[in-house]
Structure 1
Amino acid sequence: MKILVTLILSILTTSLAVAQYNFEPTTENPFGQPHPDAPQQLKDFEPMIGICDCKSMSRMPDGSWSDAVDMQWTFKYIMNGMAVQDETLKADGKHSGSIRQFIADSSKWYVHYYSSNAPSLVLPTWEGKKKDGAIVLYRNQKSPNGIDGFYRLTFYDMTKTGYKWIGEWVSKDESIEYPTWKIDCARKI
């Protein structure tokens, strides 16, 4: 009898452990899946889940745009489908990534960014939400001449075949916009 009880408990424990991680990446779902208990906004990033080949361009000090840098951008569900993580691998060796969590109490996305080019003890955080078909995120930042404003990140033109992204400094009232970085992505996987 003791052996039967031990066997049943072992099977139940194993079944619970497997079920506990049903939304992590697997062979069938290499980028994970959204957890059914996650906020519905988790699906805001659904068009980006997978791998895209991208072209990244940044603003040069003289105001012109740099040559495009080849980049691979991968998005996946993490934390058993409760959040989204992304990673960029760039041909210039400046890799980066983010962890994206939607917090229902504030109805906002919080995005924590990290980079191989500028390691940080405290990760910078952007916050925002999806509006008018775009995901728009903000972080306080002064302009080079000291004007209060934000660094705004926007994902737009999001489809199953790719998406676009732009990073720009904007004034507090958003009447002044100065793009400094843009990325165009085409679906690979």
Structure 2
Amino acid sequence: MTSLIVFPCMAQPNPKAPSETIQYAFMIGTWDCVIKSRLPDGSTKQGTAVWKAHFILDGWAIQDEWVSHDESGKPAFFGINIRSFNPVLKKWECRWLPAGTLQWKHFLSWKDGETMVMEGEGEDQRGAFVDRNTFFDIESDSWSWRKDRSYDGGKTWHRAIATIEAKRGKP
């Protein structure tokens, strides 16, 4: 005889987790996203994605899954993110793993007024950069996201090189 044990996904943070764990709770659920990216030549590209998030580790962290689609609507790019609040740093530690590279990217994140800000480093064909991703206009059924990038350690920023408009989708 085979038994199946089902553990429901946590819909809220663990009561023993840091109180800041609620700061990213706005992401919990399924989100239909419209993405706009500014290309190096100045043109823009638009696409769609589904972003799903849920509490993991008994409500101590959040995992989100990203699937963007090509022009025909087929899944084209995948990634996961794990977010947990570090009470020593008083910031969130976020680890992003994009499919294809399988190289973990590290971001620190914090609440800034009514926004959530993430910063991390990377490198592309132009060189080393700092990305600043900001979640803003956060409502129960929608939120916005903007990526700014600096190639000089944060002295100057290329604003809104990518944006996302997220609307609550069906589970």
Instruction: Bin the TM-score by the shorter chain.
Output: 0.7 to 0.9
Q: Does 1:137 align with 2:115?
A: no
Q: Identify which range, 166-175 or 92-101, moves more after superposition.
A: 166-175
State the identity %: 24
> Out of 132, 136, 160, which is 1:156 matched to?
136
Three-state SS of the structure 2 residue aligned to 1:101 is strand
Of Structure 1 and Structure 2, the greater strand share is in 2
Amino acid at match of 1:84: I
Q: What is residue 186 of structure 1 aligned with on the other side?
A: 167
Task: Name the CA shift for 1:77/1:70 in 2 (closer, same or farther; >3 Å).
Answer: same
Structure 1 residue runs without a partner (length 5+): 1-17, 19-23
* Shift in Å, 1:115: 1.3
Q: Identify which range, 167-176 or 71-80, moves more after superposition.
A: 167-176
Contact 1:96/1:113 (8 A) holds in 2: yes
TM-score by length of 1: 0.75
Please list, as runs of the form range in 1=range in 2, the aligned pairs for 1:8-157 lying within 5 A after superposition.
26=8, 30=9, 32-66=11-45, 68-92=46-70, 93-120=76-103, 123-141=104-122, 150-157=130-137
How far apart are the structure 2 equivalents of 1:83 and 1:188? 22
Between structure 1 and structure 2, the one with the greater Rg is 1
How far apart are the structure 2 equivalents of 1:142 and 1:87? 23
* Shift in Å, 1:142: 6.3
Contact 2:12/2:25 (8 A) holds in 1: no
How far apart are the structure 2 equivalents of 1:85 and 1:44? 14
Residues 97-128 of structure 1 show CA distances to partners (whole Å, capped at 9, x for unaligned) of 200011000101111001124322xx110002
* Shift in Å, 1:69: 1.4
Equivalences, count = 160
* Shift in Å, 1:25: 6.0
* Shift in Å, 1:61: 2.5
Structure 2 residue runs without a partner (length 5+): 71-75
TM-score by length of 2: 0.82
RMSD (Å), alpha carbons: 2.3
Amino acid at match of 1:156: F
Contact 1:143/1:169 (8 A) holds in 2: no
Contact 2:130/2:154 (8 A) holds in 1: no
